[in-house]
Amino acid sequence: MMTSSILNPLDFIPQIPIGNWVDGFIQSLRGLIGPITRIISAFLSGMMGLMSDVLILIPPFLLILIISAIAWKLASQRVAAFSFLGLSLIYNIGLWEESIITITMILVAVFISLLIGLPTGILSTRYELVHKIVWPILDFMQTMPAFVYLIPAIFFFRLGVVSAMIATVVFSVPPVIRLTGLGIRLVPEDMIEAATAFGTTDWQKLTKVQLPLAMPTIMAGVNQCIMLALSMVVIAAMIGAGGLGAVVLRGIQRVDLGLGFEGGVSVVILAIILDRITQRSKDANE
Amino acid sequence: MATIKVENITKIFGNRPKEALEMLKEGISKDEILEKTRNTVGVNNASFEIAEGETFVIMGLSGSGKSTLIRCMNRLIEPTSGEVWVGEDNITKMKPEELRNFRRHKQAMVFQKFALFPHKTVAENVSFGLEIQGLGEEERMEKALEALDLVGLKGYANQKPGQLSGGMQQRVGLARCLAVDPEILFMDEAFSALDPLIRKDMQDELLALQSKMNKTIVFITHDLDEALKLGDRVAIMKDGIIEQIDAPEDILRNPKTEYVARFVEDVDLSKVLTAEGVMVKAKAVARPKDGPRMVLRKMREAGISGIFMVSRDDELIGYINADNAKKAVEADQKDVENILERDLVTTSPDKTLNELFELMATASIPVAVVDENNKFKGLIIRGSLLSGLVKEEYSHDDE
């Protein structure tokens, strides 16, 4: 024992209580921003509730047709056919409501991600300082295991849909910021110069030249954002998010392979539909 | 209105421009400044004036600072020191808002790589400047189509730039500028990315357009032939310094520095020199009231074997050969009517030597140079044609 300690001087350093510190920090933060979190919480759950209520109210067959039509318009006939068959299958195996909840969560999370991500991405190309601050945070956010986000989310917003939503946004916002920034930076210098030479203001340059030209890259970011949101929404079932994730989770808890598989297939179907629709509309812009 | 005055423009790239500027003023060389401060001198103390309606060409090889200089003129690049005036306006002192207005209404720029917006149609590209000016959709499209018509691309309005050839794309680039009807047209190596044949077409078209529009054009090129062809005056740049500013012919015939001399060495003079440049003034001319004796005396005094007759207003009337004049005197004729040759070979002042060679081959008498109003300007004899092709040695004087 003694020898091992001498050979390993690191043993003499008392354990640094990183866990306690983070705990304490989160706790005190919770007290400070409690009112804000309650507002956010109310807003998010209200928005989610309203949206899923509306979607549930639409007769399933009509909604399937609408989604297929959107797929046709934005992507292709094949994607439309797949959407129709896939969604019909989900309805058939009785996971329609769960899927609606999952879709709603994704839509709201992606909406918030874009709301945060697009301006942040744009700002990062204007101000080097923003870039320098935001990029390391993004690296941190993306390398941190996804499950870890669930814990502070619960602390601030309690178990349930809102926490899941927050964790999902944190998880899915990085590609939006990164690819918006990248897309704008990739706009050829001579386009910017031409725009400047015609006397554009910064805002005109952004809206008339930079954003349209960056659109394919930004859409790739949106596509990734949706995919990440979908994967996180499933994981977030562990903190009570509901939806298809909950089905999969039940399958795990009961070691019910059939149930788990049905939930999993439904997730895959949604993933493919969302991916193809956003990817094709990205290509169309090029 | 749109005279451009560039006064002592200097541009230094790098993080210690003030220091470098001081060194430059002390006469320290560009290379030494680069070594000591890591800053690059882009343009070194350039000054010139461009008249309204003039086509001013800035010529230099890559790295000579010509592109930097043209960008200093509309402040796409901020000059380190010096001033740019357009008419009464000091461009270099303008606030952002004023500068934007200047860029929107007074000038437009054509770029080497076209810099068209790939996400917009040809018509939308052409109307971009108008959109920025804040014009309504309808008026915009109307003017855009007019501009497209000027460059012969009206039928392509709804295509995307990517679907057009290089030459057509640059026409769109030109139309995009013409649409805002600027006083000044900045053209940065506008034709350099085009194939030689298409480039020549574009040059001819620009000259044709310019004769109608009479804009002030600042044209950048690295191609001497292009510079000489397009420019009313040409500035030759090297290492950020303007070596010489002159009319194309003067540059060819009197290069002021060794660099310019070496540059123009290989130019085919016969393509550049014009009738006006090689013609000689008539030593004497006959007037309509002159009789045969008077005519003969004028010839003898001037030591010439033939004489052109011009009216009081210098309009060319005809030509009289010395032999014929002598015969008329011997026959005691009162006037020169029957020895006056009225059917003459003439040329306009802007014909190039190349074209003159053919004329000279068939003409038996000297060729008269007349302007568009048939005013007699001078004459071309074989000797003057040949001597025009021999360049005067440049004399190196450091004044």
Measured between beta carbons, the chain A residues lying within 8 angstroms of B108 are: 197-198
- The nearest alpha carbon in chain A to B160 belongs to A286
A197/B103 Cβ within 8 A: yes
B117/A196 Cβ within 8 A: no
Measured between beta carbons, the chain A residues lying within 8 angstroms of B118 are: 213
The pLDDT value recorded for residue B332 is 84
Closest listed residue to residue B63, CA positions, set B264, B243, B190, B239: B239
> How many whole angstroms separate alpha carbon A128 and alpha carbon A134?
10
Domain of B346, CATH number, reads 3.10.580.10
User: Which of A152-161, A242-251, B379-388 holds the top average pLDDT?
Assistant: A242-251
> Do the beta carbons of residue B252 and residue B273 sit within 8 Å?
yes
Measured between beta carbons, the chain A residues lying within 8 angstroms of B74 are: 197
Closest listed residue to residue A115, CA positions, set A180, A203, A202, A186: A180
Q: Could you say which residues from 162 to 191 on chain B have a Cβ atom under 8 Å away from some Cβ of chain A?
A: 180, 186
B103/A194 Cβ within 8 A: no
The pLDDT value recorded for residue B79 is 94
Interface check for B129 against chain A (CB to CB < 8 A): the answer is: yes
Give me the sheet containing B376-380, strands edge to edge: B346-347, B367-370, B376-380
C-alpha distance from residue B333 to each of A5, B10, B296, B342 (Å): 137, 72, 13, 18
Question: Pick from B100, B111, B116: which is nearest to A199 by CB?
Answer: B100
Question: How far does A192 lie from chain B, in Å, by closest CA?
Answer: 9
| Domain range enclosing B221 | 4-106+182-267
Looking at the structure, do residues B260 and B315 belong to the same domain, yes or no? Answer: no
**Residue position matching structure tokens 């919480």:** A41
A204/B132 Cβ within 8 A: yes
Looking at the structure, do residues B214 and B74 belong to the same domain, yes or no? Answer: yes
> How many whole angstroms separate alpha carbon A193 and alpha carbon A232?
41
Question: How far does A182 lie from chain B, in Å, by closest CA?
Answer: 18
> How many whole angstroms separate alpha carbon B174 and alpha carbon B188?
11
Interface check for A196 against chain B (CB to CB < 8 A): the answer is: yes
Question: How far does A245 lie from chain B, in Å, by closest CA?
Answer: 41
Burial class (CB in 10 A: 0-12, 13-18, 19+), B108: buried
Question: How far does A204 lie from chain B, in Å, by closest CA?
Answer: 8
Angle at B367 between CA B363 and CA B371, to 5 degrees: 140
Measured between beta carbons, the chain A residues lying within 8 angstroms of B109 are: 194, 197-198
Q: Does B170 map to a domain? A: no
Q: Does B134 map to a domain? A: no
pLDDT digits (tens, 9 = 90+) for B269-321: 777 777 877 788 888 888 888 888 888 888 888 888 889 998 888 888 889 88
Measured between beta carbons, the chain B residues lying within 8 angstroms of A212 are: 117, 119
B180/A198 Cβ within 8 A: yes
Measured between beta carbons, the chain A residues lying within 8 angstroms of B113 are: 190
- Token readout for B33 is 């400044």
Q: Does B144 map to a domain? A: no
Looking at the structure, do residues B371 and B294 belong to the same domain, yes or no? Answer: yes
B132/A209 Cβ within 8 A: no
Measured between beta carbons, the chain A residues lying within 8 angstroms of B104 are: 198-199
pTM: 0.73
The pLDDT value recorded for residue B388 is 67
What are the backbone dihedrals phi and psi of residue B99, each rounded to the nearest 5 degrees, phi first? Answer: -60, -40
Question: How far does A222 lie from chain B, in Å, by closest CA?
Answer: 20
The pLDDT value recorded for residue B399 is 34
The last residue of one of the domains, among B247, B267, B287, is: B267
Domain of B231, CATH number, reads 3.40.50.300
Closest listed residue to residue B109, CA positions, set B202, B13, B186: B186
> How many whole angstroms separate alpha carbon B104 and alpha carbon B216?
16
Q: What is the torsional sign of CA A90, A92, A98, A104?
A: positive
> How many whole angstroms separate alpha carbon B127 and alpha carbon B180?
8
Interface check for A212 against chain B (CB to CB < 8 A): the answer is: yes
> Do the beta carbons of residue B393 and residue B253 sit within 8 Å?
no
A197/B117 Cβ within 8 A: no
The pLDDT value recorded for residue A188 is 93
The pLDDT value recorded for residue B51 is 93
> How many whole angstroms separate alpha carbon B85 and alpha carbon B95?
14
Question: How far does B349 lie from chain A, in Å, by closest CA?
Answer: 38
Question: Pick from A191, A196, A197: which is nearest to B117 by CB?
Answer: A191
E strands, B202-240, in order? 216-221, 233-238
Q: Is A177 helix (H, G, I), strand (E, B) or coil?
A: helix
> How many whole angstroms separate alpha carbon B108 and alpha carbon B2?
13
Q: Can you state the angle between helices A257-284 and A60-74, rounded to 10 degrees?
A: 40
Closest listed residue to residue B126, CA positions, set B88, B168, B97: B168
Count how many pairs of residues, chain A against chain B, have C-beta atoms within 8 Å. Answer: 56
- Token readout for A60 is 């399933």
> How many whole angstroms separate alpha carbon B217 and alpha carbon B200?
18
Give the long-range contacts of residues B368-372, CB within 8 A, separation 24 or more: B368/B308, B368/B316, B368/B319, B368/B344, B369/B275, B369/B276, B369/B279, B370/B316, B370/B346, B372/B348
Looking at the structure, do residues B282 and B359 belong to the same domain, yes or no? Answer: yes
Q: What is the torsional sign of CA B145, B150, B155, B157?
A: negative
What are the backbone dihedrals phi and psi of residue B55, each rounded to the nearest 5 degrees, phi first? Answer: -100, 110
Looking at the structure, do residues B261 and B295 belong to the same domain, yes or no? Answer: no
> How many whole angstroms separate alpha carbon B44 and alpha carbon B147?
37
Where are the domains positioned within chain A? 31-284
**Residue position matching structure tokens 């039940």:** A250
Looking at the structure, do residues B239 and B291 belong to the same domain, yes or no? Answer: no
Name the amino acid, one letter, at A155. F
Looking at the structure, do residues B294 and B255 belong to the same domain, yes or no? Answer: no
Looking at the structure, do residues B241 and B286 belong to the same domain, yes or no? Answer: no
Question: Pick from B115, B119, B132: which is nearest to A212 by CB?
Answer: B119
Measured between beta carbons, the chain A residues lying within 8 angstroms of B99 are: 199
Looking at the structure, do residues B260 and B374 belong to the same domain, yes or no? Answer: no
Looking at the structure, do residues B300 and B220 belong to the same domain, yes or no? Answer: no
Residues in chain A: 286
Interface check for B108 against chain A (CB to CB < 8 A): the answer is: yes
- The nearest alpha carbon in chain A to B98 belongs to A199
What integer is the mean pLDDT of A255-282?
A: 87
A201/B104 Cβ within 8 A: no
The pLDDT value recorded for residue A25 is 83
Looking at the structure, do residues B234 and B289 belong to the same domain, yes or no? Answer: no
Residues 6+ away with beta carbon under 8 Å from A132:
none
pLDDT band with cut points at 50, 70 and 90 for residue A286: very low
What integer is the mean pLDDT of A90-111?
A: 91
Domain count, chain B: 2
> How many whole angstroms separate alpha carbon A114 and alpha carbon A172?
10
Q: Are strands B184-188 and B107-110 parallel, antiparallel or unpaired?
A: parallel
Measured between beta carbons, the chain B residues lying within 8 angstroms of A199 are: 99-105, 129, 132-133
Question: How far does A218 lie from chain B, in Å, by closest CA?
Answer: 15
Measured between beta carbons, the chain B residues lying within 8 angstroms of A213 are: 117-119
Q: Does B135 map to a domain? A: no
pLDDT digits (tens, 9 = 90+) for A157-213: 777 888 888 888 888 999 999 999 999 999 999 999 999 999 999 999 999 999 999
Q: Are strands B216-221 and B55-59 parallel, antiparallel or unpaired?
A: parallel
> Do the beta carbons of residue A230 and residue A274 sit within 8 Å?
yes
Q: Is B131 helix (H, G, I), strand (E, B) or coil?
A: helix
Question: Pick from A193, A198, A215: which is nearest to B128 by CB?
Answer: A198
Query: Low-confidence residues of chain B, pLDDT below 50?
Result: 392-399
- The nearest alpha carbon in chain A to B118 belongs to A213
Q: Does B140 map to a domain? A: no
R_g (Cα) of chain B, nearest Å:
26
The pLDDT value recorded for residue A4 is 55
Question: How far does A202 lie from chain B, in Å, by closest CA?
Answer: 11
Give the long-range contacts of residues A189-197, CB within 8 A, separation 24 or more: A190/B111, A190/B113, A190/B115, A191/B115, A191/B117, A193/B76, A193/B111, A193/B115, A194/B109, A194/B111, A194/B115, A194/B116, A194/B117, A195/B128, A196/B76, A196/B103, A197/B74, A197/B76, A197/B103, A197/B107, A197/B108, A197/B109, A197/B186
> How many whole angstroms separate alpha carbon A184 and alpha carbon A178?
10
Angle at B128 between CA B122 and CA B133, to 5 degrees: 155
Name the amino acid, one letter, at B389. L
> Do the beta carbons of residue A67 and residue A85 sit within 8 Å?
no
Instruction: Give me the DSSP letters along A149-166.
Output: HHHHHHHHH-SSHHHHHH
Name the amino acid, one letter, at A191. M
Q: Could you say which residues from 110 to 149 on chain A have a Cβ atom under 8 Å away from some Cβ of chain B?
A: none
The last residue of one of the domains, among B267, B290, B314, is: B267
The pLDDT value recorded for residue A5 is 62
B115/A194 Cβ within 8 A: yes
Measured between beta carbons, the chain B residues lying within 8 angstroms of A208 are: 128, 131-132
- The nearest alpha carbon in chain B to A211 belongs to B119
Question: How far does B220 lie from chain A, in Å, by closest CA?
Answer: 16
The pLDDT value recorded for residue B341 is 85
> How many whole angstroms separate alpha carbon A246 and alpha carbon A192?
49
CATH classification (class only), A31-284: mainly alpha
Looking at the structure, do residues B287 and B378 belong to the same domain, yes or no? Answer: yes
A212/B132 Cβ within 8 A: no
Q: Does B116 map to a domain? A: no
The last residue of one of the domains, among B236, B267, B298, is: B267
Question: How far does B103 lie from chain A, in Å, by closest CA?
Answer: 5
Measured between beta carbons, the chain A residues lying within 8 angstroms of B140 are: none
Give the long-range contacts of residues A258-266, CB within 8 A, separation 24 or more: A262/A93, A262/A95, A263/A95, A263/A98, A265/A89, A266/A90, A266/A93, A266/A95, A266/A98, A266/A99
> How many whole angstroms separate alpha carbon A122 and alpha carbon A55?
33
Q: Does B213 map to a domain? A: yes
pLDDT digits (tens, 9 = 90+) for A32-74: 777 787 888 888 888 888 888 888 888 989 999 999 999 998 8
Instruction: Judge if ipTM > 0.95.
Output: no
